[in-house]
Chain A
Amino acid sequence: MATYLIRRLLLMIPTVLGITLMVFLIVALAPGGIGAGLAVQGGQMSDTSKVAQMQAYLEDRYGLNDPVVVQYGRWIARVCPVRFGMTSLESPSGERIPVPRELPEPPMQWAFAAPAAFEVTFTPQSGDALVEEFRALQRDAEGRRRTYVGSVRAFKDALADHVRSLGEPWTSRLDPKGGADPQKFRDLPLDSSPTTSPAQTDAATQGMTATWAKVNAAAEQMHLAWSLAEEARQRATIAFKARPFPAAGIEVIRDVVSIDSPDFGVAFSRNRPVWDLIKTALPVTMLINLIAFPIIYLVAVPTGVLASVRRGGAADVASGFFFLLLYSVPVVLAGVFAIGFLANNQYLGWFPVSGLHDSAEATMTFLPYTDESGAWHRGWLLDTLWHLALPVLCLVYGGFAVLSKQTRASMLDNFSADYVRTARAKGVSRKDIVISHVLRNSLLPLITMFVGIFPAMLGGSVVVERIFTIPGMGSLVIEAINLRDRELILANTFMISSVSLLALLMADILYALCDPRVAYE
């Protein structure tokens, strides 16, 4: 059993990775791609090139420009508990601070030699002054990086303009959006370069076309920005190495290997840590499902038993008919009816329309009570149940049919089994046969169905959540996909797939426990 468990658990790792990679690829390769939700609608910003530079910066910040596989790999590295490379630091507010990122190289170095690499040395301060210093350097590095990324963008724009002025065949190499990827212009004729013209004050622009002069100017700007950004980055890195904050997690070998809790990152569509989002959405969905599933079981299983015992009788036909009828009512319709009639004061008005709690919930007591004037107060518990009534109803009614039919079928299977005939022949009472022999054996297939509720809990019910405005997992998953939020999609997929796999494993173990015929060796 133990070896079996270990084998299954180890197999889960590649399976989960495979699932997350698949889902991520599908979303990333769909039109729009990752980060489509980040697209900026303008109308307010005055300068087109500035908007483009801002987008370039956002893409750089969230790493959207990297190949899909690289983005995925970076995510794996963050989720994996074993970390390699420079250890992140943890600020007092719990923020993980990674080492300042390397700058992307200035493009088109064959035409415009990059500024020489240099090394900054300085002695960072210590103690509290170091924290202040590091914060300032961090801010500086980020600001200069932004300028640099913007200047790269401006350079590419200038290059695109120059290419356009050259005409065919060069223009056909431009991106569909009109941008120029420097890699495609390796063989671009370099206009007479400034070094060949006589050294005069304004010689720098002599003998050049106007557009090429602009490319040169942009390159110069870019290199200047690079130098400044690189210097700021190195300073920030030196201060970082001096450890203004303690290391995050457990360091095994300093700045080589460390162990840290998985970091699901920040959802860029909402700018909040993914874990926070899941932490608020998950309990809501769990609560609803934990109420709904017992109800389904408590109604469907006895009905199924009854239907099988009185096979073909009125109870069988009626329950079958009624449950199938319910099964075929779409949830959307049921939800609208529930709101329109059950919640509407013009009709019945028994239930609240939306949400999980009353407006005054924060001041409610937990249990109901009657005050001095005899007025009855619902209390928080009843209020919550009252709010949950309609969503749970919508979640429950469709589930009866499948489970009761399943119970009925498996009961009938067992009724015709040899052991039942033997029991009958021995003179065992009918009640004992049904309850202790047939029912117990018929519940085995229900185990498989039972574990299915765990992934369902994580996935949430999109429709019910939307109709009744419940901030659960369903809305979160849908939103993640609609906005193409990389972190949120990956974290959700990761959780849903690992919980599904664990649930399947649990089902197998439960089989072994309940059924002596099943054993894993």
Chain B
Amino acid sequence: MQSRFGLKDFFTILLLLAVLISVWLSMTQRTRMELAIDSIRVKLGEMERQDALLQRQIEKGFASGVPVASGAAPAAAAVQGNDAWARPGVAITRWTSPAPATDPAGIPGFAVGGEFTEIFEAQPAKLVPYIQSDVYGTRVLDRVCEALGSFDPKTLKMVGVLADGWQIDPDGLWIRAHINPRARFSDGARVTAEDVRWTYLDFIGNPLIEAERARSTQDNLKTVKVIDEQTVEFEFKEPFFTNTLIAFVNPVLPKHWYSKFEPSQINQATGLLMGSGQFKMERLPSGPDNIDVQWTPGTDIVLVRNEQYWAEKPPLDRLRFKVVSDELGRLVSLRNGEGSMILPSSPQFNKVLRDDADFEKAFYALKWVNMRCGYSFIAWQCGPRAGKALTPFHDARVRRAMTMLLDRERMIRDIWDGIGIVSKGPMNPESPASDPALKPLPFSPDQAKALLAEAGWKDRNGDGILENEAGDKFTFEYTYATGGEISERLARFVKDSFTNAGILVTTRPVDWSRYQDLLKLRDFDAITMGWGNNAPESDPRQIWHSESTREGGDNFTQWRNADADALIEQGRRSMEEADRMLVWRQLEAVIAREQPYTFVRVAPWLRFVDRRFGNVNMYRTGLQPEEFFRSSVPVPAY
């Protein structure tokens, strides 16, 4: 009886446990604070170093009479004079330092400072350039890293960012770029030609670094040469228009920092991200010794203003990216002020605006089509299904009829709550590669019937179902991915539309991982999907060329068209943008005529943004958080 375990003992143990756990937690918290202090220390050291550098430069400037490379005027001077870097006889395109597309400084309420929180639906797996592959990681990366060039937000033309000038070989075999002498990485080190070379050949090109995807896109790159400290030259194997993309849109990495880490450390890192952009990671290790300082998934991503930025600095202090996986949770976070921007779904976008009259007083509801908008489609099997029998869709007339049987306007109205525009072809409507005069095929069951009859499909025995001459009924299988209400509704709509026209449709919902297999095996009659977009024009070969019907290619409809093949080959080798756009428009017309896909919808970007932020502009490239500012004008209480 003496050693009986009583209630008192139980509570004693509980208390003891609680104390122990608290002690442990306080200790971890302590370490975290120390980490924060550590990063401040690193930053201080950095500033000191920078200070010393400036001091030295000023001293040197006084001694030799060379103008100090800071402020706008000397840089302009550097641009006009010295062309020693250029190859003679080829035109030079010059660029000034990057500036905001819309200057926020003149807008009422402009203020410097503040934090902007973007809410993601899912966690980026990692933030390491070229190794990360998800869309969320890219959005963070774009704020931190800069490339030699980028697309102008208003005109979509390629303009220089790190480069203050470049030359493009008229024959398309080389590109020479001159780096702005003011350009600095966020630790204050200069951006040099060697950094560019190293990024391409020793980072992406290093087989020990798991940048396989990036490596494959640069297959056409022969070599990268350092001409002088600020000049770099790319050489290519074949003259393709994508060469400019290879050279200009890949972020330039600081060699001196990344080369401190082993390839295996870079492969497994989660937040090794440094560049020359307007923001930088809040916490970055200075080397392998404190590599644990880096960001890890599961915590918010915080970017702070790059105080060392070499051109105009952004107004905001910090950008925060947090994850809320629940759709309602995201909206509530925005309303509660825990987030500044969310991406609503189409139904949510309209529902909020309908139900809440005051919503737009406190939030911008943005909806626009830009170069990053993809399109959804129904793909028709134009070749033999899985290498066996041909489907009815091998005939272009049948495919056109299928498109005409679908009332795409109504689909957008009923399925996507009216958000979206009818897609007419593979080119982004914002891109000059798309012909504004080209209209999508009309919804016209009568014309469709006529086309089907022409192709041999008519109701021969009066049962309301179409048959061909052999008496086979027109039937096909419609494959879609499970797990979305939208795709279920789409499937029902498709089935109804075709059944009305006397075509038998069986639906086949499959899991996404199986989907990939079906696409590879070409094992479907009709399948629905979407393609994304991230540039005004992309190489159409992978999707539309008949060569791409082979394994590894994305021409899973097995659509072969000699005209299209010729146009693709011609366009890829056409270095002159205006000529190339004409070729792409012809290609668009061929695809629209042949309808290997029924193009359904271009999905616009949807955003809810807090009105406390100013200069939120809908650009043709998307949004530019670098230009946002936290307005000092109060917004009505919500």
Contact = CB atoms under 8 A, between A and B. Distances in A.
Interface in A278-336: 280-281, 284, 335-336
A272 B208 contact: no
A280 B553 contact: no
A145 B514 CA distance: 30
Interface of B: 22, 25-26, 29-30, 32-33, 35-36, 117, 123, 125-126, 131, 206-208, 210, 212-213, 215-217, 219-220, 240, 242, 262-265, 267-268, 270, 288, 296-298, 300, 320, 322-326, 328-329, 332-333, 335-338, 386-387, 510-511, 513-514, 516-517, 520-521, 523, 531-532, 538-539, 541-543, 545, 547-548, 550-554, 572
Interface residues of A, number: 78
B210 A271 contact: yes
A78 B35 CA distance: 34
Contacts of B323: 354-355, 469
Contact of A44 (B267, B320, B538): B538
A146 B209 CA distance: 12
A276 interface: yes
B207 A271 contact: no
A354 B334 CA distance: 12
Given A344-B336, A471-B297, A272 B325 contact: no
Interface string A10-50: 00000000000000000000111000110111111111111
B33 A363 contact: yes
A362 interface: yes
Contact of A36 (B131, B220, B516): B516
A399 B361 CA distance: 43
A47 B513 contact: no
Contacts of A402: none
A467 B326 contact: yes
Contacts of A45: 216-217, 219, 539, 542
A435 B305 CA distance: 64
A484 B513 contact: yes
A249 B243 CA distance: 48
Contacts of B117: 359
Given A354-B324, A467-B326, A271 B332 contact: no
Given A45-B216, A54-B212, A353-B324, A343 B336 contact: yes
Which of the listed residues A30, A42, A52, A54 has the most CB atoms from chain B within 10 Å of its own CB? A42
Contacts, number: 215
A468 interface: yes
Contacts of B29: 364, 366, 380
A352 B339 CA distance: 12
A42 B552 CA distance: 8
B268 A276 contact: yes
Given A340-B328, A346-B335, A95 B262 contact: yes
Interface stretch (A114-122, A171-179, A184-192, A253-261): A171-179
B452 to A, nearest CB: 30
A270 interface: yes
Contacts of B25: 366, 380-381
26 contacts: A30-B513, A31-B510, A36-B513, A46-B217, A48-B548, A51-B216, A95-B265, A142-B207, A145-B207, A176-B387, A269-B125, A270-B125, A336-B326, A345-B336, A353-B336, A359-B117, A359-B320, A362-B32, A362-B36, A363-B36, A366-B26, A367-B26, A380-B25, A380-B29, A467-B329, A468-B329
A58 interface: yes
B216 A31 contact: no
Contacts of A174: 387
Given A359-B320, A380-B29, A52 B326 contact: no
A182 interface: no
A271 B542 CA distance: 26
